[in-house]
Amino acid sequence: MKEIKTVAIVGLGALGILYGHHFSGKLARENLRVIADKGRIERYRSGKIYCNGVECDFNYVAPEDRLEPADLIFVTVKYKGLAPAIKSIKNQVGESTIIVSAMNGISSEEIIGKTYGMNKIVYSVAQGMDATRVGNKLTYEHPGMLFIGDIAPGPSSDKVRVLADFFDKTGFHYEIDYNMKHRLWGKFMMNVGVNQTAAVFQCNYRGLQEEGRAREIVIEAMREVVRLAIKEGVQLSEKDVDYWMSVLDKLNPEGKPSMQQDIDAKRPSEVDLFSGKVIELGRKHGISTPVNSMLNSEILAIESIFPQ
């Protein structure tokens, strides 16, 4: 595979801004593209985007623009924006393009792969960042780490090695994981517990780091995922719960998970991606998921009063 020189990003949420800001300091402006429809581009240009107080001078490209395919595409949208995002990157995908989905959940790679081929996908899990986006401003203390790898255990594929070489050259924080399915499920488990509990208790990370009912709910929700993961052939255990709780405990106490940020902004969350998926898998395997069912009901009740 050829060396990565051009990068496209679709989705200017927390991760999209974080990654875009990083690569804007490493690549020529024309080699970093932010894909958005013309309406969004106008809003981004008029309102400007800031990362830790620094204005981001991004090179915006519309989906219909005809350019040479990008060597690397980051998909950093919310789950409900995945279908439009897949369409929007069509003109960016070429024969040797690598696609990385830094989205939450355990299914986005397969959904993207159905359109563009699984041979273009490098699996990833973003963890450890404490980025908070309010309006057009992103702030963070810890940029976190992007774990990358193939879904099948064994030596890394050519595309993973090419991606790792690019990250090395651009100073991007990453690590190759040789058991990506396990990590994907572990991050999913953490999101199920942390994101949803913060949304229901209306708290920041500190509210989950301190001993109390909120922290107990986080752990109980995660344990429901452990039982389901085993049925799905992924060997999560209590050790994984402890590991991901240690990840939580290292985050900036004043930061907020993405779902809590959605609730604060009165926009639809990814509840279907988290407890919705847990409930679905619980029905599939005949396993009770009372904690996630409760979280699901509470979050949907909160969202029901949002402006339409």
Residue 131: C-alpha distances to residues 7, 57, 97, 202 (Å): 21, 19, 28, 17
Confidence bin at 131 (pLDDT 50/70/90): confident
**Contact (Cβ atoms closer than 8 angstroms) between residue 276 and residue 79:** no
pLDDT more than 70, % of the chain: 100
With a CB cutoff of 8 Å and minimum separation 6, the contacts of 214 are 197, 198, 201, 203, 207, 208
Mean pLDDT of the chain: 95
Question: Tens digits of per-residue pLDDT, 234-291?
Answer: 999 999 999 999 999 998 899 889 899 889 889 889 999 999 999 999 999 999 999 9
Confidence bin at 296 (pLDDT 50/70/90): very high
Amino acid present at 48 = K
**Contact (Cβ atoms closer than 8 angstroms) between residue 248 and residue 217:** no
Q: What are phi and psi of 132, to 5 degrees?
A: -125, 125
In CATH, what class is 181-303?
mainly alpha
Beta-sheet pairing, 132-134 with 137-139: antiparallel
- Give start-end residues of each CATH 1.10.1040.10 domain in the chain: 181-303
Question: Tens digits of per-residue pLDDT, 145-202?
Answer: 999 999 988 899 999 999 999 999 999 999 999 999 999 999 999 999 999 999 999 9
Torsion, CA 130, CA 133, CA 139, CA 140, rounded to 10: 10
- Give start-end residues of each CATH 3.40.50.720 domain in the chain: 7-178
pLDDT at 114 (0 to 100):
97
Q: What does pTM read for this prediction?
A: 0.92
Question: Tens digits of per-residue pLDDT, 24-42?
Answer: 999 999 999 999 999 999 9
With a CB cutoff of 8 Å and minimum separation 6, the contacts of 180 are 123, 125, 147, 148, 149, 150, 151
pLDDT of residue 1 exceeding 80, the answer is no
**Contact (Cβ atoms closer than 8 angstroms) between residue 260 and residue 199:** yes
* CATH tag, 7-178: 3.40.50.720
Helices 213-231 and 290-303: crossing angle in degrees, nearest 10, is: 120
